[in-house]
Amino acid sequence: MAYKQWNFDIDRYINPLVPPPPWHYLPYPVARFFGYRKDKPAPTGNLMPTFWAFIGVFCALVIIEVVSVRIPGFIANHAPMIVGSMGATAVLEFYAIDSPLAQPRNAFFGQLIAAFVGAAVAKLFQLSDNFTEIQYLGGALSCACTVAIMALTKTVHPPAGATALLAVVDDRLVRAGWFLIPVMILAVSIMLAVALIVNNIERRFPVYWWTPADLKKTKPATNEQEKAENGAAKGPDAAGADVSGSQTSPEKERSEDVEHQEHQLSEAIVRPGLVVLPKDMHLTEEEKQFLEALSKRL
């Protein structure tokens, strides 16, 4: 079926507008805490990450709770001390820090989308006199809409699904209404700030801020580029030509962009700045982003 091949890539339109990270212009001791590294981080075992995850989760959640109960506006609008989904976010932000789901774009915008959609659905369903009887439908709709929007915007963050659900089925969050949005913005901002400090002491976070692609090289797609991509997808010969071309073309040698090519082997090749996949291997967007980020760290 043709519809199975339909694909929407929002980065195709947004990346040309996003400036590259400016961290390399900052003093290295400062840029280091924004995830910038001159050298590839050394591999680690699991004990050190576990220790720092414990410290980070504890500190982040305590700070969020202490700050939230001291903001008069939060108290006046029945805002909770903390939304339960932030516990799940903490796991990603302090332990699974290399996952695409834990990067700042996913964490911040995923939770922001969830808070907005959840509050909107709750308000919509409250227009009914039978809100308590259909509340469960609102929770399901809120979570489903949030997942769809996150998928299309490349901001998938699993804990945000819980935020969207709780925004409709948790009576305290329902009373908070639209005020849930600033509550989540504050909570995620604090958690990311703590993550930048704790995770960069002996590890590296984030792997990227917006996308693993090289924003300095990203340009709007042209018709010629689209034709070249279509030609590469028609057969293994074209794919092979692209691979050999990438090794000899001066322009491509200077480029650090990750190139996805197809080949007839039964293995995936990940080299510095290059990802080559078997023709019959199909990956999710999150898996592709992970391989792209991995290739840039080699």
**Which pLDDT band, with edges at 50, 70 and 90, does 204 fall under?**
very high
The structure tokens listed for 253 are 């040698």
pLDDT at 259: 45
User: Per-residue pLDDT for 242 more than 60?
Assistant: no
| Region 162-172 average pLDDT | 97
User: Per-residue pLDDT for 225 more than 70?
Assistant: no
**Which pLDDT band, with edges at 50, 70 and 90, does 252 fall under?**
very low
User: Per-residue pLDDT for 246 more than 60?
Assistant: no
pLDDT one-digit tens code per residue, 24-75:
889 999 999 999 998 888 888 999 999 999 999 999 999 999 999 999 999 8
Q: How many CB atoms lie within 10 A of CB 217?
A: 12
Q: Is 277 helix (H, G, I), strand (E, B) or coil?
A: strand
User: Per-residue pLDDT for 200 more than 70?
Assistant: yes
Instruction: List helix spans (H) across 69-179.
Output: 72-76, 85-94, 104, 110-125, 131-153, 158-169, 171-176
Query: What Rg, from alpha-carbon coordinates, does the chain have?
Result: 22
pLDDT at 208: 94
Separation between Cα atoms, residue 258 and residue 296, nearest integer Å: 8
pLDDT at 291: 82
User: Per-residue pLDDT for 283 more than 90?
Assistant: no
pLDDT at 274: 78
User: Per-residue pLDDT for 255 more than 50?
Assistant: no
pLDDT at 269: 80
* Residues with Cβ within 8 Å of residue 124, at least 6 apart in sequence: 138
Q: What percent of the chain is modeled with pLDDT above 70?
A: 82
pLDDT at 257: 45
User: Per-residue pLDDT for 251 more than 90?
Assistant: no
**Which pLDDT band, with edges at 50, 70 and 90, does 3 fall under?**
confident
